[in-house]
Structure 1
Amino acid sequence: MRQLLRTPTGVIGLALVAATVILAIVGPPIWGEAAETIDAGAALQGASAEHLLGTDNLGRDILARVLAATRFSLLLAVLATVIGVGLGLLLGVLPSVLPRRAARLVTGAVNALVAFPALLLAMFTAVVSGLGARGAVLGIGMAIAPGFARLTQTLAASVAGADYVAAARLLGVPRWKIATRHVLPNIAEPVILNVTAVLGTGLVAMAGMSFLGLGVQPPEYDWGRLLNEGFGRIYLDPVVALGPAAAIILAGLGFNMVGEALAKSAARTSASAGPVSAAEVAPDDSAPDADAVLEVKDLTVTFPGGVTPVRGISLTLAPGEIVGLVGESGSGKSLSAFAIGGLVPYPGTVTSGRLRLNGTELTELGQAKRRKLLGTSMAMVFQDPMASLNPALTVGGQLAEVATVHQGAKRSAAWARAVDRLKHVRIPDPEKRARQHPHEFSGGMRQRAVIAIGLMGSPKLIIADEPTTALDVTVQRQILKLLREVSADTGAAALFISHDIAVVSELCHRVVVMYAGRIVEELPVSELAGGAAHPYTKALVASLPDLDTDKGEPLAAIPGTQPAPAEAGTGCAFAARCALADQRCGERPPLKEFGKAHTVACWHAGTVEIEVATR
Structure 2
Amino acid sequence: MTLLGNRVRTTGRPRANGPGGRGRLRRNAPGVAGAVIVVAMAVLAVVGPIFWGADAERIDAAAILQGASPEHPLGTDNLGRDLLARVLVAGRYSLLLALAATLIGAVAGVVLGTLPSVLPRRAARLATGTVNALVAFPGLLLAMFTAVVAGLGARGAVLGIGAAIAPGFARLTQTLAATVAGADYVAAARMLGVPRRRILTRHVLPNIAEPLILNLTQALGGALLGLAGMSFLGLGVQPPDFDWGRVLFDGFPRIYVTPEAVLGPAAAIALAGIGFNLLGDALARAAARAPVPGSERGRRAGPVAGEAPDPDAVLEVRDLSVTFPGGVTPVRELSLTVAPGEIVGLVGESGSGKSLTAGAIGGLVPYPGAVTYAALRLGGRDVATLSDRELGTALAMVFQDPLAALNPALKVGGQLAEVAIVHQGASRAEARRRAVDRLGHVHLPEPGKRAAQHPHELSGGMRQRAVIAMGLMGTPRLIVADEPTTALDVTVQRQILRLLREVVEETGAASLFISHDIAVVGELCDRVVVMYAGRVVEELPTDRLAAGAAHPYTKALIASLPDLDTDRSLPLAGIPGTQPAPAQVGPGCAFAPRCALATDRCRDERPELVAHGPAQRVACWEVK
Q: Which category describes the TM-score, using the shorter chain as reference length?
A: 0.5 to 0.7
For the 8 Å contact 1:281–1:354, the answer to whether it is kept is: no
Native 8 Å contact 1:382 1:464 kept in 2: yes
- Which aligned pairs between 1:570-589 and structure 2 lie closer than 5 A? 570-585=587-602, 586-589=604-607
Q: Please give the alpha-carbon distance, in whole angstroms, between the structure 1 residues aligned to 2:455 and 2:135.
A: 46
The alignment partner of 2:352 has SS state of: coil
Q: Which residue number in structure 2 is paired with residue 341 of structure 1? A: 362
Map 1:187-202 onto structure 2 (within 5 A): none
Displacement of 1:584: 1.4
Which residue of structure 1 aligns with residue 225 of structure 2? Answer: none
1:469-527: CA deviations, max 9, x gaps?
11100000000000000000000011010111111111000000000000000000000
How many Å apart are 1:111 and its aligned residue?
3.2
For residues 345 and 533 of structure 1, the distance between their equivalents in structure 2, rounded to whole angstroms, comes to 34
Q: 1:487 aligns with which of 494, 498, 504?
A: 504
- Give the aligned partner of residue 563 of structure 1: 580
Which position in structure 2 is the counterpart of 1:402?
Answer: 419
Residue type of the alignment partner of 2:140: T
CA contact (8 A) 1:516 1:565 kept: yes
- Give runs of aligned pairs for residues 348-497 of structure 1, distance below 5 A: 348-363=369-384, 365=385, 369-497=386-514
Q: What is the Cα deviation at residue 419 of structure 1?
A: 0.9
Shift of 1:312: 0.3
Cα deviation for residue 303 of structure 1 reads 0.8
**Cα deviation digits, residues 286-308 of structure 1 (max 9, x gap):** 33211210000000111111101
Q: Is 1:520–1:591's contact at 8 Å kept on the other side of the alignment?
A: yes
Partner of 1:299: 320
Structure 1 CA distance for aligned equivalents of residues 181 and 388 of structure 2: 24
Which residue number in structure 1 is paired with residue 565 of structure 2?
548
Q: 1:109 to 1:381 in 2, by over 3 A?
A: farther
2:349 is equivalent to residue 328 of structure 1: yes
Which residue type is aligned with residue 376 of structure 1?
T
SS at match of 2:470: helix
CA contact (8 A) 1:121 1:142 kept: no
- SS across alignment from 1:597: coil
Letter of the 2:300 counterpart:
E
Deviation of 1:146 after TM superposition, in Å, equals 6.6
Per-residue deviation at 1:362?
A: 1.7
CA distances 1:18-49 after superposition (whole Å, capped 9, x unpaired): xxxxxxxxxxxxxxxxxxxxxxxxxxxxxxxx
List gaps (5 residues or longer) in structure 1.
1-103, 131-140, 162-273, 607-615
SS in 2 for 1:523: strand
How many residue pairs get aligned? The number is 378
Identity among equivalent positions (%) equals: 65
In 2: Cα distance, 1:299 partner to 1:385 partner: 27
The one-letter amino acid paired with 2:349 is E
In structure 2, distance between residues paired with 1:120 and 1:316: 54
**Residue in 2 aligned with 1:503?**
520
Corresponding residue number in structure 1 for 2:615: 597
- State the TM-score, normalizing by the size of structure 2: 0.57
State the secondary structure of the residue aligned to 1:290: coil
* Alignment partners' CA distance in 2, 1:119 and 1:279: 43
Distance 1:457 1:583, change over 3 A: same
Q: 2: distance between equivalents of 1:552 and 1:386?
A: 40
Maintained 8 Å contact 1:378/1:460: yes
Deviations 1:146-194 (A, max 9, x none): 7765564456668999xxxxxxxxxxxxxxxxxxxxxxxxxxxxxxxxx
Structure 2 CA distance for aligned equivalents of residues 160 and 410 of structure 1: 38
- Relative to structure 1, the CA distance from residue 121 to residue 505 in structure 2 (aligned partners, 3 Å threshold; closer, same or farther) is closer
Report the Cα distance in structure 2 between the residues aligned to 1:127 and 1:283, rounded to whole angstroms: 57
Q: 1:299 to 1:282 in 2, by over 3 A?
A: same
Pair 1:122-2:142 in alignment? no
Letter of the 1:592 partner, please give it. Answer: V
In 2, the alpha carbon distance for the partners of 1:578 and 1:384 equals 34
CA drift of 1:119 comes to 6.0
CA shift at 1:281, angstroms? 4.1
Task: Supply the distance in 1 between the matched residues of 2:551 and 2:369 (Cα, whole angstroms).
Answer: 30
Question: Contact 1:122–1:143 (CA<8 Å) still a contact in 2?
Answer: no
Q: CA deviation at 1:417?
A: 0.8
Gaps of 5+ in 2: 1-102, 116-129, 146-163, 185-291
Task: Give the whole-Å Cα distance in 1 for the aligned partners of 2:107 and 2:431.
Answer: 42
Within 2, Cα distance between the matches of 1:436 and 1:486? Answer: 24
Mapped partners of 2:440, 2:106: distance in 1: 45
Structure with greater contact order relative to length (CA < 8 Å, sep ≥ 6): 2
**Paired residues of 2:406 and 2:455 also in contact (CA < 8 A):** yes
- 1:279 Cα deviation after fit: 2.0
Residue of 282, 289, 299 corresponding to 1:279: 299
- Preserved contact between residue 321 and residue 493 of structure 1 (Cα < 8 Å): yes
